Amino acid sequence: MSTVGNSTNIFWQECPVGKLERQRLLNQKGCVVWITGLSGSGKSTLACSVNRELYSKGKMSYILDGDNLRHGLNKDLGFKAEDRTENIRRVGEVAKLFADAGLICIASLISPYRKDRDACRAMLPDSNFIEARDSKGLYKLARAGKIKGFTGIDDPYEPPLSCEIEIIQKDGVCATPGDMAGEVMTYLEEKGYLQDQ
């Protein structure tokens, strides 16, 4: 007998086809590419660009976009600190399942709290965190007091301390979505995610 959360008699069901078999079938390694950054920084654009690049190479991927998930899985959550934490926990659990299925899961969320991202990392030791940069004018409105509860202004945003990939401006110029996606693809190729074991 096992107790999980408030439930009893919960048992983990093992199946004969596991992650390694699925990865061999797909000729790739399942992982999570976690794109974090302030609102308007280009996370969704980067996620879609990486997804397109993976598709062009015949690799299976799926995007878990923060806004999209609030239309379904997380529609019952608000933006208080505890709701943000639960939002990220749920996304982390789903991302873990996608990676276990052998897919490259691209999670694109503000995910403002470092401890929440670290908890997702702990669920999946080979996850990747990619920092995006603010490239839109939303912060001008927030700083002028026209938007309340805006992450990075009224609510905190804690940037990663040691992310695997950091997307930064070069000479004050933001890279194109294709160039940013290229950085992510290079990392995935170098680390062996784009071929099976």
Q: Output the pLDDT for position 139.
A: 41
Does residue 51 lie within any of the structural domains?
yes
**pLDDT on residue 135:** 46
1 assigned to some structural domain: no
> Got the DSSP string for 3-71?
EETTEES------SS-HHHHHHHHTS--EEEEEE--TTSSHHHHHHHHHHHHHHTT--EEEEEHHHHTT
Q: Which residues of 85-118 are buried (b: 16+ CB within 10 A; e: fewer)?
A: bbbbeebbebbbebbeebbbbbbbbbbbbbebbe
Q: What type of residue sits at position 126? A: D
Tokens 């379904």: give the residue: 72
Cα atoms in the 13 Å half-sphere on the side-chain side of 138: 16
Q: Is 39 exposed, middle or buried (0-12, 13-18, 19+ CB in 10 A)?
A: buried
CA distance 57 to 185: 10
pLDDT at 166: 83
> Which pLDDT band, with edges at 50, 70 and 90, does 159 fall under?
confident
Catalytic residue among 49, 108, 111, 127: 111
Question: Which domain does 161 fall in, by range?
Answer: 29-190
- Select the highest-mean-pLDDT range: 63-67, 111-115, 122-126: 63-67
Q: What is the pLDDT of residue 158?
A: 83
User: Please, what is the average pLDDT of the chain?
Assistant: 83
Question: Is the model's pLDDT at 140 over the cut of 80?
Answer: no
Residue 1, pLDDT above cutoff 70: no
The count of domains in the chain is 1
CATH of the domain at 91: 3.40.50.300
Residue 46, pLDDT above cutoff 60: yes
Query: pTM for the whole thing?
Result: 0.82
Whether 107 is covered by a domain: the verdict is yes
| Three-state SS annotation for 170-188 | ECCECCCHHHHHHHHHHHH
Tell whether 196 is covered by a domain. Answer: no
170 within some domain: yes
The verdict on whether 111 is a catalytic residue reads yes
Domain-embedded: residue 10:
no
Evaluate whether 155 touches 149 at the Cβ level (below 8 Å). Answer: yes
Across the range 105-121, mean pLDDT stands at 92
Q: Give the percent of the chain with pLDDT over 90.
A: 51
Residue 4: inside a domain, yes or no? Answer: no
In-domain check, residue 17: no
DSSP 140: H
